[in-house]
A and B are shown apart, each in its own frame.
Chain A
Amino acid sequence: MLGMLKGLMTTMQSHFRKPVTIQYPDERPDLPPRYAGFPGLIWDANVGEPFCTGCQVCARFCPTQCIYVTMKDNPKVGDGTSKRRKIVDEFELNVSCCTQCAVCVEVCNFDAIEMTHTFEMASYSREQVMNLQDMLSMKEKGGP
Chain B
Amino acid sequence: MANARRWLTKTLLGMLLTTLIGGFAGAMLVRFAPGYGVDERELDVRLSTKTITAIRRENAQQHNLALFYMHYLAATMHGDLGYSMALGRPVRELLSERLPETLTTVGVGLGFAWSLGLGLATAVVLSRDSSIDALASILAGILLCLPTAILALWFFLAHASTRLALGVIVFPKIFRYSRNFLLEARSESYVIAARAKGLSEIHIFLGHILPACAARLVSLGAVSVSLALSAAIPVEVICGLPGIGQLAWQAAMARDLCLLVNLTMVITAITVVVNSAPELLKKGACA
Are these two chains actual partners, yes or no? no
